[in-house]
Structure 1
């Protein structure tokens, strides 16, 4: 699929209209597709595209079904061939190899375990065309395989958020790519994360369940939809408390599903946003005292991280060739360790 629609490209700017149209997206509805409005259908399939944008596209006459323009209230039918075309060419994302150092935790002829640092996007996309983990991977490894549904992202079978640190597996062969992708799809991989969350989590362990979908107010973030079962995707996060620091809690999270921003969204939903989470409200003082000294302490803690306190610590997969279940571990980064030590000292002395 081609690049996502750019948010700053306005369809109703007549001065920018051209005679040529360029196809940006093309999708074919499933055989068993239920009849739903096309704007709602596309919202679930095109990230970062708001419903109002889709309605504007339809109004401009550049939303097509079976080569015919349709309105935003058109009901999608099985096997419909849907095209989104716009009056500007799709920006080609050229994957340029870049000599960026990588921390390799494990490597054989089938796969590589990489320790991703904070403040690094996994693959190029709108607003991030260089300096990504994938730019580094194609420099260090030749001929990485790629999936048709993950075009332009060779070797990747899963992702981590920009500021999430930790372990990520990369496939080196077609066989490994197929086998590993199936494991993530079938939920047979084991993923364990450490997160520092605001507040004193009441239960020592528990499970958070709730459909996760893009926010209808802000398409850049996600939220839990409990009362709208048809919206969002089923998501389950299991957690255990590792250590308590009065106003924040260190938790261990095991993913049963792998939705975008899952841990961040689930913990915000239960009232415990991740510490220093820029998108989900964790980058301000949510618990504690009003004393100036405490406020300074928190600000000093924030400075230790680029974003949310979330680390992908353990990854277990079945080896693509031997079939043996193998586990790999990534130590907490220096900033995260310093953050925990500061909270230990604070909690002991107050």
Structure 2
């Protein structure tokens, strides 16, 4: 296979097949020839759109067989603009290069546009912030979301800026780091003190009755998804008895990544996250027995006290392990300080 020639002004690439290419499918050969920036799915889309010609004749069949000496011309379109519009929303950027961006997400920021949140999201902010440095994910100039944090959960997130980064990071998050260096650690403030300093919650999750929340469900249910959370008690607060108000700071590490996983799992073992409006309502009255000023802080806290403090992963291009940490947000730190006085 000869190296591709390109004409930057037109987006044209010219490739010549050699003897090794003979008999290969057009999409298979092109995906290998164009390199890691082009997934096979994207190559197939380009072929079906008529962007590839062999010997001057448009070839729109991905399964066409190649022959030694075939000359392929690929007319690469400019990446299409993302449907969401860029918005000048401030971002706390921890790191950025041509492949990815790492941010410290604040509370209240929805990650992706959707029903009821078509604007003001992280995606809108990233389109504005990154601009032309987004090389295109699947042919569209947009940020590649590879994992999410709930709207009211704070902390470290990584977002892809290129196809190659998107595929590599998506694979890492899909297998939850089993085959790589992915690490995710969250800090949560929970009601009660777990009986053990370390533990594991292994419980399948599925949809609750309202279809927005999640619940622990039997393994055999159709929508059941395996979920495992490991927790470590970092600090204990208050009296450890039936009448006293007690709480704990715990670190949670994910072995899987399901919607609301930490929040549901901690509530399942009797230690819901403080402030959680969906899974901690049963224990909200505990705040009435706290001394001031922490009582007011907890009762007025409008969200779950959950923070993604650590994220580590292999850089998709350099293969160097990168690790990022974000401190607790000020409102959650204030509650932690108040609990320390119990």
- Normalised-by-shorter TM-score class: 0.5 to 0.7
* Partner of residue 183 from structure 2, selected from 175, 179, 190: 190
Residue 233 of structure 1 aligns to a residue whose secondary structure is coil
Counterpart Cα distance in 1 of 2:316 and 2:129:
21
Give, in angstroms, the shift of residue 218 of structure 1. 1.4
Partner of residue 52, structure 1: none
Counterpart Cα distance in 2 of 1:152 and 1:128:
20
> Does structure 2 conserve the Cα–Cα contact (< 8 Å) formed by 1:242 and 1:251?
yes
Counterpart check, 1:273 vs 2:272: yes
Larger radius of gyration: 2
> Does structure 1 conserve the Cα–Cα contact (< 8 Å) formed by 2:229 and 2:265?
yes
Counterpart Cα distance in 1 of 2:293 and 2:337:
16
Residue 223 of structure 1 aligns to a residue whose secondary structure is strand
> Does structure 1 conserve the Cα–Cα contact (< 8 Å) formed by 2:204 and 2:219?
no
Counterpart check, 1:311 vs 2:307: yes
Partner of residue 108, structure 1: 97
The 5 A counterparts of 1:52-91 are none
Partner of residue 46, structure 1: none
Counterpart check, 1:243 vs 2:235: yes
Seen in structure 2, the aligned counterparts of structure 1 residues 194 and 158 have a Cα distance that, compared at 3 Å, is same
Count of equivalent residues: 248
Give, in angstroms, the shift of residue 159 of structure 1. 0.5
| TM-score, L = length of structure 1 | 0.66
Counterpart Cα distance in 1 of 2:248 and 2:285:
13
Seen in structure 2, the aligned counterparts of structure 1 residues 205 and 282 have a Cα distance that, compared at 3 Å, is farther
Counterpart Cα distance in 2 of 1:328 and 1:168:
9
Counterpart Cα distance in 2 of 1:298 and 1:152:
47
Counterpart check, 1:203 vs 2:201: no
Deviation track 1:36-78 (CA, whole Å, cap 9, x = no partner) reads xxxxxxxxxxxxxxxxxxxxxxxxxxxxxxxxxxxxxxxxxxx
Give, in angstroms, the shift of residue 94 of structure 1. 4.4
Counterpart Cα distance in 2 of 1:152 and 1:275:
39
Seen in structure 2, the aligned counterparts of structure 1 residues 336 and 193 have a Cα distance that, compared at 3 Å, is same
Counterpart Cα distance in 1 of 2:308 and 2:264:
16
> Does structure 1 conserve the Cα–Cα contact (< 8 Å) formed by 2:218 and 2:224?
no
Deviation track 1:293-327 (CA, whole Å, cap 9, x = no partner) reads 64884343232x33000000100111111212211
Partner of residue 140, structure 1: 129
Seen in structure 2, the aligned counterparts of structure 1 residues 222 and 327 have a Cα distance that, compared at 3 Å, is same
Partner of residue 49, structure 1: none
Give, in angstroms, the shift of residue 202 of structure 1. 1.0
Partner of residue 95, structure 1: 84
> Does structure 2 conserve the Cα–Cα contact (< 8 Å) formed by 1:276 and 1:284?
no
| TM-score, L = length of structure 2 | 0.68
Partner of residue 72, structure 1: none
RMSD (Å) for aligned C-alpha atoms: 2.3
Counterpart Cα distance in 2 of 1:227 and 1:165:
30
Seen in structure 2, the aligned counterparts of structure 1 residues 343 and 234 have a Cα distance that, compared at 3 Å, is same
